[in-house]
Amino acid sequence: MAKKEYDSRTHDEKISDLRAVFERLKIQALATGKISACSIKKVCDGANVSDTYLYTDKLDSPELNAKYHKIKADITGFKKDFKKNKGSIQADSEIGRAQAEKTTMQNERDEAQRQYVEVLQQVQGLKNQVHKQKQTIKDTADHSVGVAYNNLLQSPQSTKSPSFSHAKIVSPDTHLLVDGRYCFHDKNLRNLAWRSSVYELEELLKRPLAQRIYMLVGPPCAGKSDWCKASDYFSDRHPVVIDATNLTKSERINWFTVIYKYIHTNDIKVCAVFFDVPFEILQKRNNKRSADKRLDNDELLTKLRTLEPVDVYEGFDEIKVIRYG
């Protein structure tokens, strides 16, 4: 058994340490709402002082004994009046406000993490179904392309030869226009735009066509919409473009949740189009935007820093990188 190290502090120094620990634990108790955070034992343990001094007249000096006993009385009094102290101090204190904000942030973080795990589990389940059907889809790929051409030819609206170079665009931005103005900062409208875009994508995925989904990934002003107009799509299947920022893996998983509902029955490939654009170019393009679509520089930089690179493990069959500057 190791020999206990000799405590060379004077009693005044020990009493000072007890007071310092007591004040710190008081703040902790008020901030957390837990009176157990501030007890005689925890104060003594924190100051590395035996609680015997607080309960007995161990010393020859009545004055020192009284100082130790006073600390015990103060701790006991604080615990006794804890509810009153908590209500009057915590409500208006910086500590109380900070603790409330911290609790709110923790709750929001926990909820977001729960939703992310739930979506991830859904995607994994759908991936398992895809794996079982992969071979079947491969064997019927040629037939699916034939069906695509036949359907386009038989369409009453089709007067020209079918072309797989004409893409269907799914973009939440198209649902954010109100009276000709772009209303990005309207949260309710953004939610509606997302739901409308999901519905559009589902309707496209239901078609008995060989399809390639191009999921664009890049910050605002990266050139995504221009790429949609000027791009030469692969001609082996019908192109569907998801024109949104899709900056994070969690945002992209939301689209995969929809795609994987149909990928095990239809011939569908998913191609990521990643836009690698320097901030200077984004900034110049942003300055040329109309006032209702323009972002401030800090917000634009935040979005660029939020951008997470794509990889095949997310579920992409192909990845294209578009670089500017």
Q: How confident is the model at residue 3 (pLDDT cuts 50, 70, 90)?
A: low
- pLDDT value at residue 161: 41
Whether the CB-CB separation of 173 and 189 falls below 8 Å is answered with: no
- Looking at every residue in the chain, the average pLDDT score rounds to 82
Alpha carbon of 81 to those of 33, 54, 68, 85, 89: distances in Å? 13, 20, 20, 6, 12
- pLDDT value at residue 87: 54
CB within 8 A of 63, min separation 6: which ones?
A: none
Q: Which residue has the higher pLDDT, 157 or 189?
A: 189
Please check the confidence at residue 158 and state whether its pLDDT lies above 50. Answer: no
Average pLDDT estimate for 24-52: 89
- pLDDT value at residue 159: 43
Q: Which residue has the higher pLDDT, 155 or 303?
A: 303
Average pLDDT estimate for 8-26: 93
* CA triple 139-142-143, angle to 5 deg: 90
- pLDDT value at residue 136: 58
Nearest CA to 241 among 284, 195, 282, 272?
A: 272
Please check the confidence at residue 297 and state whether its pLDDT lies above 50. Answer: yes
Q: How far apart are alpha carbons 244 and 198 in whole angstroms? A: 12
pTM as predicted? 0.53
Q: How far apart are alpha carbons 164 and 203 in whole angstroms? A: 18
pLDDT digits (tens, 9 = 90+) for 215-238: 999 999 999 988 988 777 888 899
Please check the confidence at residue 163 and state whether its pLDDT lies above 70. Answer: no
Identify the CATH class of 113-323: alpha beta
Please check the confidence at residue 25 and state whether its pLDDT lies above 60. Answer: yes
DSSP secondary structure string for all residues of 208-219: SS-EEEEEEE--
Average pLDDT estimate for 204-224: 93
Which H/E stretch holds residue 21?
Answer: helix 11-32
Q: How far apart are alpha carbons 141 and 45 in whole angstroms? A: 72
User: Among the listed ranges 163-167, 187-191, 297-301, which one has the minimum average pLDDT value?
Assistant: 163-167
